[in-house]
């Protein structure tokens, strides 16, 4: 008898990648998405930053997750026949002498060194980066998230496995260890519902927080080399597939407040520019978006089965989803289908309150 499908709630970055990983393991899926325009996966510029922060750390799920995610994008590009991840030099302006010392320490550690390039002195790179302390290169990249979501949606649609609509968590029932939704039975439900998960009664044990952010799409008045310029004042990154356009980001709002594109956010991002670029060209604002980062107080993603229920979750990847989501989706699929152990560096969902 054919296996029941998994019901995946959400077709953002997490839901798309979990669906692709489950399909690859021969499982059936039904993915349902309500198309929220402010879903972070529809707002993010997709910076894949392997090492970040003043201590220069990997994303919370660690080096394996970073390496595994990078590899997974390359596999998916091969499988789906579409470029998804563009490698980019991230030109990072150091914020202090201590940060440069930390860079030199990391360069001596092979686990970090593969993601780090050269140190540069102040004013290198045509003097465009505002880098009074100098800086260093991070071997990062940029994920074309719209292309990934669109390609996954096409593949799911072809199989009749994508539905538009909302899964009301209170409308899910458990019968004989299976999940029923709208009269149909599913093997398990997998919540990849992003910030909406904060109000999901199945996920009360997770403690999700929502951190709003704004980002601008800008067109510089003179050509700017297509690097990712990065510093404590934010970043300017090329818009994938859009020549002459860049994303300027991002703000961090008060947790658990609504995401809105505000005048203050726009002005704040534009007024930070001289701290990021020493000779910022005039920028025409082409677009202004706001979205919410789903995060946890521990700053770790949440991954695994919800105790006592035929239900699982991938959520809480915060501001560093790009180099966590593909690996964690693979781990979750292997866990659900093959009973593989879950990786370190993630939180297990607690029982709903
Ligand atoms: C301004 C901004 C900039 C960012 N920049 C970066 C960056 O550069 N690099 C990086 O790594 N990360 C970045 N992030 C974070 C990253 O975008 C998110 O962590 C990631 O996209 C979350 O993906 P997700 O699939 O978990 O959630 P989502 O993108 O929210 O996807 C969830 C999907 O589920 C749907 N859904 C929710 N509930 C239901 C329901 N009940 N029924 C049906 N459908 C439902 C939603 O419509 C949505 O499509 C940024 C976020 C923001 C807001």
The predicted pLDDT at position 329 comes to 98
The predicted pLDDT at position 240 comes to 84
Which ligand 1 atom sits nearest the alpha carbon of residue 33?
44
Tell me how far the alpha carbon of residue 130 lies from the centroid of ligand 1, in angstroms: 31
Pocket test for ligand 1, best of 190, 193, 203, 258 (most atoms within 8 A of CB): 193
| One pLDDT digit (tens) per residue for the chain, 353 residues | 679 999 999 999 999 999 999 999 999 999 999 999 889 999 999 999 999 998 999 999 999 999 999 999 999 999 999 999 999 999 999 999 999 999 999 999 999 999 999 999 999 987 899 999 999 999 999 999 999 999 999 999 999 999 999 999 999 999 999 999 999 999 999 999 999 999 999 998 888 999 999 999 999 999 999 899 999 889 999 998 888 999 999 999 999 999 999 999 999 999 999 999 999 999 999 999 999 999 999 999 999 999 999 999 999 999 999 999 999 999 999 999 999 999 999 999 988 87
The predicted pLDDT at position 1 comes to 60
Ligand 1 contacts (CB < 6 A) are 9-15, 32-36, 39-41, 43-47, 166-167, 192-196, 213, 215, 249-250, 291-294, 315, 317-322
The predicted pLDDT at position 353 comes to 77
Tell me how far the alpha carbon of residue 143 lies from the centroid of ligand 1, in angstroms: 14
| Separation in Å, CA 16 to CA 148, 193, 217, 251, 337 | 8, 11, 25, 26, 17
- Supply the DSSP string of 147-196, one letter for each residue: HHHHHHHHHHHHTT-EEES---GGG-EEETTEEEETTEEES-EEE--GGG
The predicted pLDDT at position 207 comes to 86
């Amino acid at each position: 008898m054919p296996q029941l499908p998994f019901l995946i709630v959400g077709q953002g970055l997490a839901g798309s990648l979990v669906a692709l990983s489950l399909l690859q393991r021969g499982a059936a899926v039904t993915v349902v998405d309500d198309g929220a325009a402010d879903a972070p996966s529809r707002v993010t510029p997709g910076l894949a930053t392997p090492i970040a922060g003043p201590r220069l750390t990997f994303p919370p799920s660690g080096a394996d997750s970073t390496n595994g995610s990078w590899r997974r994008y390359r596999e998916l590009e091969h499988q789906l026949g579409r470029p998804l991840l563009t490698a980019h030099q991230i030109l990072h302006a150091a914020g202090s002498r201590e940060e440069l010392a930390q860079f030199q320490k990391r360069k001596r550690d092979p686990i970090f060194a593969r993601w780090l390039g050269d140190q540069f002195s102040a004013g290198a790179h045509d003097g465009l980066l505002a880098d009074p302390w100098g800086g260093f290169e991070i071997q990062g990249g940029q994920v074309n998230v719209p292309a990934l979501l669109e390609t996954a949606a096409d593949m799911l649609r072809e199989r009749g496995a994508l539905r538009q609509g909302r899964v009301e968590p209170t409308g899910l029932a458990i019968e004989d260890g299976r999940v029923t939704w709208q009269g149909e039975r599913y093997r398990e439900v997998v919540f990849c519902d992003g910030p909406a998960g904060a109000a999901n009664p199945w996920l009360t044990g997770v403690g999700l927080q929502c951190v709003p952010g704004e980002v601008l799409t800008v067109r510089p008045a003179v050509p700017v080399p297509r690097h990712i310029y990065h510093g404590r004042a934010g970043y300017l990154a090329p818009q994938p597939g859009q020549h002459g356009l860049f994303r300027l980001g991002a703000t961090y709002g008060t947790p658990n407040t609504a995401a809105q594109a505000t005048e203050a956010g726009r002005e704040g991002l534009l007024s930070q520019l001289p701290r990021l670029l020493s000779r910022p060209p005039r920028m025409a604002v082409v677009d202004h978006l706001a979205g919410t980062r789903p995060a946890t107080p521990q700053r770790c993603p949440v991954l695994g089965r919800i105790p006592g229920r035929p239900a699982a979750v991938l959520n809480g990847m915060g501001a560093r989803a790009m180099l966590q989501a593909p690996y964690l989706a693979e781990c979750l699929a292997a866990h659900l289908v093959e009973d593989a152990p879950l990786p370190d560096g993630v939180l297990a969902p607690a029982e709903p309150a």
